[in-house]
Chains A and B, each alone.
Chain A
Amino acid sequence: MSRKSERLVNLTIALLATKRYLTKSEILKSIEGYEGSPETKERMFERDKDDLRGLGIEIEVGSFDPLFEDEPGYRIDPQSYRFQLKDLDSNDIAILSLAAQAWRGAALETSALSALMKLSSIGIAADLSELPSIAPQVTNSVDEIELITNSLASRTPISFSYRNADLSISNRRIHPYSTGSADGFWYLAGLDLDKQEVRIFRLDRIVGHAQINGEQGSYLVPDDFDLATLMGTQAKKNKALIRVRRDKAHSMRSASTIVESDAEWDLVEYIYANEDQLISEALWYRGDLKIVEPHVLRDRVISVVREIGAHHA
């Protein structure tokens, strides 16, 4: 194992240091660690290239001599190997380090740690003095997030079992588009291959583990795709008229405007996302909140309350 690591490091050094492309035979002859029959050496080299690419190192393939159609040459462009962001100052380093440290003990810890090491290699000390003292911490991370970020990075399809709204479990095949967290939950957006629609999934509703289900780079994410916009369009857009007892139902009040008030009640206009949600909230506040319009919803509340009464009679 140690031999292999050394060979890969030596290969990286040689490909980085060379000014021109190195041919395969030059590489196999001069770089330490390539041993055995010519076929074995070639196989080793092919696997090494894949391994380095797997570590995010770009190996360029080019022609050694443009005048002759001979064997291809290889090199690593130092520009692509080098840390991408230029002119970072101590404040930027502090922000980026804080961002990485948010993952301490959470799912993306491995990536966070190696990013942190790269940041500190720049050799600029982080200046935390201008940053707020509270450090964010990911505490609601789910294991699946690592597989999902990896599949997003390489555009690899995944599949998982998902708990549906009616509690049934179905298998989903997804082209992941984006991930993010909101309201304390992690979400994944992607194309559902069976439904042929972009859907949003909550990661804590995945039953068991998600799995890789296809080849790298097998799909494209639409250029205009944006998770925040998609979640926004699913958010509140319907209007209801509600009677709310004065000084009650505080959390609903922040999202409503008062139309008129009397001594006991306020009539408010409330913007809601979906009917079930509104009915559920109306029941939570019991007699302190009454739906006036739309009538259908008012009627649904009444029939639901009858149902609850029957269950608990």
Chain B
Amino acid sequence: MPKEISPALQKVSRMLNLVPYLSTHQNIALKELANRFDVSKKEILEDLNALWMCGLPGYTPLELIDLSFEDGFVSISNAEALQMPRSLTQPELMTLILGIGLILDAQELDDEQRQRINTLRDSLVALSSAKVSLTSNIDSGHRFVIKQAMDCRKALMISYHSPVRDTLTQRLVYPISLHVENGLEYLQASTADGVRSFRLDRMSAVQIADAKPIGVADTATRPAFRAKIELVRSDRRSAEAFGLSSGSSEMSKVFEVDCFSEEWLIRTVLSCAGAVELKEPLHLRAEIARWGGDLLESYAD
């Protein structure tokens, strides 16, 4: 079944799903029905017209499915055989299991909710012929406080760890929204430097602040510059550290990247453990050589 499902079969599947859906949503507007099934109004009309021709053998009006369109509203009757909601297919089961994993990971849930969702997931897993799982390192411990602050429109004082500068800073921020991206939770907030995103897993403490905003001078970003880098050793981890995509078929030895922080560049070049050489800018080359010297000295004793 991994082969693509043909348009004709997609239509059959939609027709079979339409009957139970209409049975529980009688008198639904045609336009809404098309929206729900994510097809055009024309397509949904074709589906309905085809359904009208279907029924039990004999195919007299007594056996045919009865659809009525009144002023653009659709109702169905005489469709007992197809009326029950269809079973979930294997791909659908997997899609739901993976989705539930995301909810469990990303959401602040009480024990009862968590229990409930786990039970639901277990029953889906029991029906699934394949194994899917989802693990994550999201720690949502701070969500509750952040939401509270958003509810009462208060500022937050967060202790934020910046791995680039390796510092733990106290920042006063005004929360705007929470979102999950690539499996990680982010807070978007306005700060003295403008709107910034903060990863929740990098916050070590979060508390609601009563203080008036203060000018937090925290200029992490400098104007962007370009760096030229050479892969000295063929090393996937180093290439990925500079944002090269392993999935692309071409990967050149020498490449350029846009950088926002000199410190990030220096640390990343060092952490590639000799697999890369920074070609440009020259003054950062010198910085790296200097750090190398310092490191050797510190290991000497």
Contacts and interface: CB of A to CB of B under 8 A. Distances in A.
Interface in A178-210: 178-185, 202, 204-208
B85 A83 contact: yes
Interface stretch (B102-110, B188-196, B214-222): B102-110
A123 B180 CA distance: 30
B181 A288 contact: no
A267 interface: no
A99 B181 contact: no
Interface string B121-163: 0011001111111111100000100010000000000000101
Contact of A312 (B91, B130, B168, B278): B278
A74 interface: no
Given A78-B84, A91-B116, A99-B96, A184 B180 contact: no
Nearest to A76: B81
A81 B273 contact: no
Interface in B1-32: 1-3, 5, 7-9, 11-13, 15-17, 20-21, 23-25
Contacts of B134: 180-182
B117 interface: yes
Q: Which of A155, A167, A178 has the most CB of B within 10 A?
A: A167
Interface in B52-90: 53-59, 80-82, 84-90
A208 B296 CA distance: 43
A103 B100 CA distance: 11
B57 A14 contact: yes
A47 to B, nearest CB: 11
How many B residues are at the interface, by size bracket?
Answer: 35 or more
A225 B131 contact: yes
Contacts of A216: 1-2
B249 A302 contact: no
A167 B54 contact: no
A176 to B, nearest CB: 8
B132 A12 contact: no
A308 interface: yes
A179 B59 CA distance: 46
Interface in A223-251: 225-228, 231, 247-251
B173 interface: no
Nearest to B130: A152
B120 interface: yes
A290 B298 contact: yes
B107 A136 contact: yes
Contact of A2 (B16, B50, B113, B285): B50
Contacts of A44: none
B182 A121 contact: no
B186 to A, nearest CB: 11
Interface string A156-192: 1000000111111100000011111111110000000
B236 A167 contact: yes
Contacts of A82: 84-87
A165 B51 CA distance: 54
A304 B295 CA distance: 11
B73 to A, nearest CB: 17
Contact of A95 (B86, B117, B136): B117
Q: Which of A5, A147, A177, A205 has the most CB of B within 10 A?
A: A5
B181 A139 contact: yes
A218 interface: no
B23 A121 contact: yes
Given A83-B86, A304-B273, A92 B99 contact: no
A14 B63 CA distance: 11
A112 B91 CA distance: 9
B96 to A, nearest CB: 5
B254 interface: no
Q: Which of A114, A152, A207, A298 has the most CB of B within 10 A?
A: A114
A184 B134 CA distance: 11
Contact of B85 (A122, A134, A136): A122
Contacts of A142: 247
A153 B90 contact: yes
B296 A286 contact: no
B95 A166 contact: no
> Nearest 9 CB-CB pairs, A to B?
A99-B99, A123-B24, A153-B90, A56-B89, A152-B130, A184-B182, A121-B20, A309-B292, A136-B102
Interface of A: 1-2, 4-6, 8-10, 12-14, 16-17, 30-32, 51, 54-56, 78, 80-85, 91-92, 95-96, 98-103, 108, 111-115, 117-123, 130-134, 136-140, 142, 146-147, 149-156, 163-169, 176-185, 202, 204-208, 212, 216, 221, 225-228, 231, 247-251, 276, 279-281, 283-288, 290, 298, 301-302, 304-309, 311-313
Given A284-B267, A309-B296, 18 more contacts: A17-B80, A30-B57, A82-B84, A83-B87, A108-B98, A123-B24, A134-B107, A134-B143, A166-B236, A177-B131, A184-B183, A185-B183, A216-B2, A221-B131, A247-B168, A250-B161, A306-B296, A311-B232
10 contacts: A78-B84, A108-B95, A134-B179, A167-B231, A178-B131, A181-B101, A205-B247, A308-B270, A308-B292, A312-B292
